[in-house]
Amino acid sequence: MRAFISLDLEGLPHVVSPEHLSVKKALYGEARKIATEVVKITAMTLHELGFEEVVVADSHGPMVNIIPEEMPGFVKLVRGFPRPMSMVAGSKGSDVALFLGYHARSGVGRATFDHTYSGSTIDWITVNGRPVSETLLNAYLLGEWGVPVILVAGDRALLESDVRDALPKTVGVPLKESFSRYSAISPSMEAINKLLIKGTKEAVKRWKEGAIKPLSVEKPVKVGVRFLNSGFADAAELCPLVRRIDGKTVEFETNSVEEAYKMIELLIFAATGVRAVFG
Ligand SMILES: [Zn+2]
């Protein structure tokens, strides 16, 4: 059996400051260490439960956060960005997927670093009219590939929004409780490790019992994207598939989640390009 883990930083315990989130910032080393520890404990638990191979997609920023030499021998690590299928690259063919360090979607209150894929360009994203977090869009894509998301570990605000509403059978492991966008209370790493071991065992048990299925989505897939700046929508509208709804909002339809995911990646790159030129 093969398990897939996708790792983000904003939903990790004790990660609360922008200083944690980028390679050159003062607290980045602390975040890397925490990321590596939660991945390692989860991967080792999966291995003990019979998963011979664990693929880990490092999925924050330039996607080189996890310390590779600390990974056990059975782990394969997906690193680097840009890449196709971003946060779920390398997941195809896995039996189960787990998300670690995930955060709430843009607009959820009292949630550390609430955002959806790109905090500097995107206001919100909808799929078939429903606002989606990274968790939910990634789960739709994995679902299309037949891979169920058995565990989500991250900010409690995420577990009490998209996970509760769209992935009710998935095991949620709260790694912190946010007081605001930049503050949270987190258990000790010793307690976090115990929660992850317990949650992973429960998730695999539920999956083996047939309780957790791949998520499905109605086709065609209708995607709405609201940008933070009308200039980003101007760029998005250059794509013939994209319709302009208002100054900052566009929509498009695709026949699969995979196509929708690629389009979203493309629109974010276009917006990032506009931002790089015009600010
Ligand atoms: Zn992130």
Query: Cα of 61 to ligand 1 centre, how many Å?
Result: 6
Q: Which CATH number fits domain 2-115+133-208: 3.40.630.30, 3.40.50.10780, 3.40.50.300, 3.20.20.370?
A: 3.40.50.10780
Task: Output Rg (C-alpha) for the chain, integer angstroms.
Answer: 18
Domains of the chain, residue spans:
2-115+133-208, 221-278
Q: Give the residue from 71, 157, 120 showing the smallest Cα distance to 231.
A: 120
Is the alpha carbon torsion for 78, 79, 84, 86 positive or negative?
positive
Q: What is the pLDDT of residues 160-184, one digit of tens each?
A: 999 999 999 999 999 999 999 999 9
Amino acid at 102: Y
Q: List C-alpha distances in Å: 82 to 87, 127, 265, 274.
A: 10, 23, 9, 17
159 Ramachandran zone, left/alpha/beta (phi>0; psi -120 to 50) = alpha
Ranges under pLDDT 50 in the chain:
none
104: phi then psi, degrees, rounded to nearest 5: -75, 160
Taking the centre of ligand 1 as the mean of its atom positions, its distance from the CA of residue 210, in whole angstroms, is 31
CA-nearest of 108, 110, 109 to 136 is 108
CB atoms within 10 A of CB 26: 9
Domains 2-115+133-208 and 221-278 share a fold: no
Ion ligand 1 residue ranges (Cβ < 5 Å) = 8, 10, 60
pLDDT reported for residue 279: 84
CATH architecture of 221-278: 2-Layer Sandwich (3.30)
Ligand 1: distance of its center to the CA of 208 in Å? 30
How far is ligand 1, taken at its centre, from the CA of residue 80, in Å?
Answer: 13
Residues in the chain: 279
> Degrees (nearest 5) of the Cα angle 100, 104, 106?
140
Contact between 105 and 159 under an 8 Å Cβ cutoff? The reply is: no
Residue 210 backbone zone (phi > 0: left; psi -120 to 50: alpha; other: beta): left
Tokens describing residue 180: 């605001």
Tally the C-alpha atoms within 13 A of residue 41's C-alpha that lie toward its C-beta: 20
Tell me how far the alpha carbon of residue 59 lies from the centroid of ligand 1, in angstroms. Answer: 7
Instruction: Give the span between the Cα atoms of 228 and 213, in whole angstroms.
Output: 35
The pLDDT score that the predictor gives to residue 193 is 98
Q: How many CB atoms lie within 10 A of CB 48?
A: 12
